[in-house]
Structure 1
Amino acid sequence: MTDSSSRALPTVSVVTSHGRQPLSGAADERLIDILSRNHVPWSAVAAYAVPESGGDLRLSPSLDRTLAEFEDTSEILLYFNRNVNPFNFSIEDFKTIESDHPGEEATEYIYQRLDNETGTAESFLKKLSPEECRQIIADRVGDTVRANVPAGADLVVGVSGGGDSNALLYGLSQLSDHGITVHPVILKGIPDWDAGVPRAQALCEKYGLELTVIEADEVKQLLGIPADSVDLIDRFEREFQGDDFEFLGTLMIRLALSKAARDIGTSYIATGVNLEDIVCENLFRVTTGLKPAAFPKRQIGDTTLVLPLWLCPKRIIDGCFPKYSLENYDARYPCFSLGRNLYYSVVYALQSQFPGYLEQVAHGLSQLSMKDPVEYTYNEQLGFHVERTVPFPLLRRFQKMLGGAQPTAG
C-alpha cells in the first residue's frame, strides 16, 4: 500500500491554443484555490486528470478537491474553453513609474496599454503624490463642467466632508476660465452626515465658500415626515429590511439640492458620484433590464444633475486629501444590502484585474445613456420625479415609512 504523503503531487497546467501555463499548488490547496490565486476563472476551464498508471484522460469535476486527494494522477490539465490567451492581461509584470514628487506618494494606480497590432498588453504602476492626484481630478472635473454647465452659471454642490466632496470642490475651484459660482450644501439627519459637517465647514472655509447646512428637521420636511418623529434610518429599516439606506439617502440629497437650486434661481446641481459609483449604478440597471441613466448630465424635471467625478477613480480621489478620506471611512456604517455588495464587488474585480477597462465601460455606458436618456415624470402621490410607474404595494410601503405624509415637491 502506498503512503499518500509520499506520493508526488500532480502538476497543474492551464492548456490553451497558445500553449501551456503551469500553475503552482500545495498539497492542501483545492483546485479552486489554485485557480483563484492565479486569476484563472473557474468557469472557463475543464479539468482533465492524466492517470499515472496510463490510459485516457479523465474529465474530473474537482474544484473542491485538494491536490493530495488526486489519486493515480500525474497531471491535471485545465483546458481553457475559448481560443484566447487568458494571461494576456496579467498585471503581475508591471513597470513602476515613480511620482514626480518622490517621498510624497499618497496613492498608486495601475494602467494598461493595449497594442492590438502585436496583441500585447503592458501594465504600469504609477505612484501618485497628492499634487498629482489633484491635477488629475481638476482636469477631469473641468472637462465635464465645461461641457455640461453654461459659463457663469450657479452650481449647487452636495458635499459630505469626505474625500469625494473635497476633491470635487478642489476641482471646481481650479475652473477659473468658466466663471461658475459654487454653492456647497450638506444635509444632517444621519450619523455619518452629521459627523461630516465640521469637515465640510473647514473645506468650504479653505475654498472661500459659504456652506449651507440643511438641518435634520428640514430634511424630514422634504419627505413630509413630522419633525418630532423617529430618525430616518429607523423609519427606513422598519419598512425596508435588508435594503440599504443609501437608496433613500440618495433621493433625499437630490431633493435637498434641487430645493436649494430653486431657492437661488438655478437649475444646476452636482454630486460627487465617482467612476466606480456610476458604473455600479448602471451595471445594476442594465442587469435588471433598464437602460443606463444619463450621465454625466441627467435631466430630472427642471433640474440638471451633473456628475463631475464620473471618470475619477476613488483611489485617486482619496489620494488628493488623504486625511479627510480617512476620517470619512472611520465614520461609515456597514451596508447589508446583497445587491449593493454584489455590484460593487463586481466593479472592483473588473477594475483590479483589467486596469483601464472600467473607464471604457463608463465611456460606453455614457454614450448610450445620452443618446436615449431616461425620462422622469412627476408623481403627485410621492411628491417628486420618478422614472417609471411605482407599483401600488411599494407606494403604500413608502408612504407608510413616511407616516402617511405628503412629501414636499421636488
Structure 2
Amino acid sequence: MNDWNDRVTLLFSAGARPLKSAQELTLAELLLANRLPPSLFQAYEVPGDGSLKPIPMTLTLGQVPENRTVLLQCMRNTDIDGLRPAEIETVRHADEPTTALLDFDYADRNKNPQHRAHLVDDAAMREIVFGKIADFLADNEIPVPLVAGISGGGDSSSLVQGVRRYTAEHNLDASAVTCFTLVMEPLWPESAAQRARALCAEAGFEHVVLYPDDAAALLDMGESPRALWAQFKQQYGADSSHFFGTFFVNLAGRALCAQRGAGHLLVGYQREDVMAELLFLLMNGRRPLPFPRRRTGEVDVLMPVWDVPKSLLDACYPSVSESNYAERVDSTAVRRSSIYYLAHCIDALVPQMSLSLMSGIKSLMEETEGWQDLSRVGTTPLLHTGHGRTPEQTAMIDLLMEHFPQWSSTTSGPQ
C-alpha cells in the first residue's frame, strides 16, 4: 500500500478530506506519532563532519538532503524510561471491539508505567456509561419530575438509558420523566426525533416533540421559531445555528420544567463540551461557569456525562451516532471549531489530562466560591454573566424581544 488514503476516509460534515501521506509528514508529526510533544525537542541536520545544523520541525524528511541524517534532541532531562508514552498494552475485552478505553499511568517510582488500551464492544460501553449516569443522579439525589433534552444522537441516547436505570433502581415513577426533542428542518431533523421517540417509548418516558408551532406555543412567541431563525441568520450568519440551537434547547427545556413542576433539566454535555467552554472562558479572562450542576434561572441544569469523552458516548450507539453526523448542517464557524479542536487536543498526547484539569478547576472553584454567577436580564428568561454589555448585546436582546412579546421591553438591559 503506497498511501493510507486508499483505505482510510477522513470525513467531516463538509465532506471527505485526504490524510497526509507518509512522505508529507513533518519531523514534528513523526514525534506526535510516537506520542512525543515536538516542543520538547530541537531538530538538527547532521552533515557527518561532526557539526550540527538546527532546522525547523516543519521540514519533512524529504526536504533534508539524502546524504544527511536528522537528530531530534530532547531539550530536557526527561526520564523517557520512566514515562514510555509510546508503549501501550492492549487489553482485549471483546471479540469485536468498537472502541478503546485509554488508561495511562506515568507516576510509577519503579519506572514501570502502566499504559493500557482496553478494547471493548458497544454492550460493555453502554454498561459503563449508563451506570455512570445512574450513579450521578443517585449521588445528587435528583427527584422526579425530571426533564431531559434529547437530540437523537449518541450522547442524549445514552442519557435516556442512564435515567431509565436510575428510575428503576430507585423505584421512581418513569412516567414523571419528560424527554423533549426539537424539530425544525434543516436544523433539527424529523429523523432524529423518530430515533428519540422509539428510545423513550422503550424506557416508559414521556416524549414531547416540539415542532415550530408547538415551540411557539410553549414559549409564548409572537410567531414561529422559523421567523426568529430567519432574522437571526440574516443578522449573524448561517453558522450561528449552533448557538441558536443551544439557546433554544435551554429555553424550551426550562419552560417544560416550569410546566411540569420539575426542578432539574438534564442535558448531554460531555467532556469536550465542558472542556471547550472552560477553555474559552479561561482564555478570555473569565471565571468558569459551574459544572456539572448549573443554576439557570429557576432550574438546575445537570450534566451527568460531563466527564465522559464523546467518543465513548458514541461507542454506545455507533449506528445512531453515524446517522446523527450525516444529518448535521455543515458549518464554517471557525472560532467555535477552533475551541473544540483545542478541547480534543488536550487528551491527544496524555489521555485523561482534560479530566484532571476539569476536576482540579472544579475543586478550586468550589473551595474559593469562585464560580461565575448567572443573573437575569430584566424580567426576561435570558441570563447574563456580567460581561459584554455592548451595543451588540443590546441589539441581540432587542431582536429576541421582537419575537417574545411577553418579555418586558422596559427591562431589556442586564440587571
TM-score by length of 1: 0.81
Bigger drift between 318-327 and 222-231 goes to 222-231
For residues 145-190 of structure 1, give each alpha carbon's deviation from its aligned partner in whole angstroms, at most 9, with x where no partner exists.
Answer: 122244x432111111111111111011111343444211112234
Greater mean alpha carbon deviation, residues 321-330 or residues 77-86? 77-86
After TM superposition, give the deviation of residue 215 of structure 1 in Å.
Answer: 2.2
Q: In the alignment, which of 128, 148, 151 is matched to residue 140 of structure 2?
A: 148
Inter-partner Cα distance in structure 2 for 1:186 and 1:258: 13
Alpha-carbon shift at residue 376 of structure 1 (Å): 1.3
Which residue among 304, 307, 314 is the counterpart of 1:308?
A: 304
**1:112 aligned residue (104, 114, 117):** 104
User: Secondary structure at the residue paired with 1:345?
Assistant: helix
Report which of the two has the higher share of helix: 2
Q: Structure 1 residues 218, 72: closer, same or farther in 2, change over 3 A?
A: closer
Which runs of no fewer than 5 residues in structure 1 stay unpaired?
Answer: 1-25
Report Cα offsets for 1:97-117 as digits up to 9, x if no partner: 222x534x3333222233332
- Shift of the alpha carbon at 1:396? 3.6
How many residues are paired up?
Answer: 381
Q: Is 1:188 matched with 2:183?
A: yes
Candidates 116, 121, 127, aligned match of 1:129: 121
- Could you tell me whether the CA contact under 8 Å between 1:272 and 1:309 is conserved in 2? yes
Note if contact 1:224-1:402 (Cα within 8 Å) is conserved in structure 2: no
Q: CA deviation at 1:292?
A: 1.8
Residues 83 and 399 (structure 1), Cα distance of their counterparts in 2 relative to 1, 3 Å cut:
same
Aligned with 1:276: secondary structure? helix
What is the deviation of 1:268?
A: 0.9
| Counterpart residue number, 1:83 | 77
Q: Cα distance, 1:408 vs. partner?
A: 5.6
Contact 2:219 2:252 in 1 (8 A): no
Q: Which runs of 5+ in 2 are unaligned?
A: 1-21, 409-415
User: Contact 1:244 / 1:336 at 8 angstroms: preserved in 2?
Assistant: no
After superposing the two structures, state which structure 1 stretch, 175-184 or 285-294, moved more: 175-184
Q: CA RMSD in A?
A: 3.1
Structure 1 position 119, deviation (Å):
4.3
Structure 1 residue 258 corresponds to structure 2 residue 279:
no
Structure 1 counterpart of 2:89: 95
Structure 1 contact 149–268 (Cα < 8 Å) conserved = no
Q: Residue 22 of structure 1 corresponds to which residue in structure 2?
A: none
Superposed counterparts of 1:238-317, under 5 Å: 238-241=234-237, 244-317=240-313
Change (3 A) 1:295 1:369: farther
| Residue matched to 1:46 | 42
Moved more, 280-289 or 114-123: 114-123
Counterparts of 1:2-401 in structure 2, within 5 Å, are 30-54=26-50, 56-58=51-53, 60-70=54-64, 74-85=68-79, 92-99=86-93, 101-103=94-96, 105-150=97-142, 152-175=143-166, 176-180=168-172, 181-195=176-190, 196-220=192-216, 226-227=222-223, 230-241=226-237, 244-371=240-367, 372=369, 373-380=371-378, 383-399=381-397, 401=399
Verify the 8 A CA contact 2:240 2:333 in the aligned structure 1.
yes
Q: Which residue of 1 aligns with 2:402?
A: 404
Distance in 1, Cα, partners of 2:189 & 2:24: 49
Bigger Rg, structure 1 or 2 = 1
- After superposition, the C-alpha distances for 1:297-356 in whole angstroms (9 at most, x for unaligned) are 111222111111112222221222222222212111223222221222222222232122
Kindly provide the CA deviation profile for residues 27-77 of structure 1, in whole angstroms up to 9, marking residues without a partner as x.
8764344444444433333333344334x433x243344445445974433
CA contact (8 A) 1:221 1:408 kept: no
| TM-score of the aligned structures, taking structure 2 as reference length | 0.80
Q: Distance in 2 between matches of 1:68 and 1:328?
A: 41
CA distance in 1, matches of 2:329, 2:136: 31
The answer on whether the counterparts of 1:159 and 1:271 sit within 8 Å (CA) in structure 2 is yes
Change (3 A) 1:229 1:302: closer
